[in-house]
Amino acid sequence: MADRNRLAGKIAIISGAARGMGVSHARAMVEEGARVVSFDINDGEGSDLTRELGASSFAFLQADVTSAADWDRVVAHCRNQFGTPNVLVNNAGISPLHSLADVTEDEYQRVIDINQVGTFLGMRAVVPSLREHGGSIVNIASTAAYVGFEDLFPYIASKWAVRGMTRAAALELAADNIRVNTVCPGDTDTPMIRAFADTPTGALPPAEELPMKRWARPEEISAAVVFLASDESSYMSGTDIVVDGGFTAQ
Catalytic residue set = 155
Q: CB of 94: closest distance to ligand NAD in angstroms? A: 5
Distance CA 36, CA 55 (A): 10
In sequence order, which ranges of the chain are alpha helices (DSSP H)?
A: 20-31, 46-53, 68-81, 105-111, 118-133, 153-173, 191-197, 218-229
Q: CB of 6: closest distance to ligand NAD in angstroms? A: 22
Q: CB–CB of 38/62 below 8 Å?
A: no
Question: 59: part of which helix (H) or strand (E)?
Answer: strand 58-62
Q: Which is nearer to ligand NAD, 44 or 245 (CB)?
A: 44
Among residues 11, 8, 6, 233, which one has the least CA distance to residue 129? 11
Among residues 142, 133, 224, 137, which one has the least CA distance to residue 179? 137
Question: CA 70, 75, 78: angle at the middle one, nearest 5?
Answer: 125
Q: Which is nearer to ligand NAD, 97 or 176 (CB)?
A: 97
Note whether 166 binds ligand NAD by CB under 6 A.
Answer: no
Q: Which is nearer to ligand NAD, 143 or 237 (CB)?
A: 143
Q: CB of 178: closest distance to ligand NAD in angstroms? A: 21
Contacting ligand NAD (CB under 6 A), which of 11, 15, 166, 228?
Answer: 15
Note whether 222 binds ligand NAD by CB under 6 A.
Answer: no
Q: Is the dihedral of CA 229, 178, 123, 128 positive or negative?
A: positive
Note whether 205 binds ligand NAD by CB under 6 A.
Answer: no
In the shown chain, the binding pattern of residues 80 to 99 toward ligand NAD, with x for contact by CB under 6 A and - for none, equals -----------xxxxx----
Contacting ligand NAD (CB under 6 A), which of 38, 136, 181, 190?
Answer: 190
Distance CA 198, CA 28 (A): 29
Q: Which is nearer to ligand NAD, 193 or 224 (CB)?
A: 193
Residue 33, exposed/middle/buried by CB under 10 A (0-12, 13-18, 19+)? middle
Contacting ligand NAD (CB under 6 A), which of 53, 152, 193, 228?
Answer: 193
Note whether 22 binds ligand NAD by CB under 6 A.
Answer: yes
Q: Which is nearer to ligand NAD, 9 or 211 (CB)?
A: 211
Q: CB–CB of 150/201 below 8 Å?
A: yes
Note whether 122 binds ligand NAD by CB under 6 A.
Answer: no
Q: Which stretch binds ligand NAD (CB under 6 A): 4-12, 17-25, 53-61, 121-129?
A: 17-25
Q: Is the dihedral of CA 153, 167, 30, 39 positive or negative?
A: negative
Q: Which is nearer to ligand NAD, 7 or 65 (CB)?
A: 65
What are the residues binding ligand NAD (CB under 6 A)? Answer: 15-16, 18-22, 40-42, 44, 64-66, 91-95, 114, 140, 142, 185, 187-188, 190-193
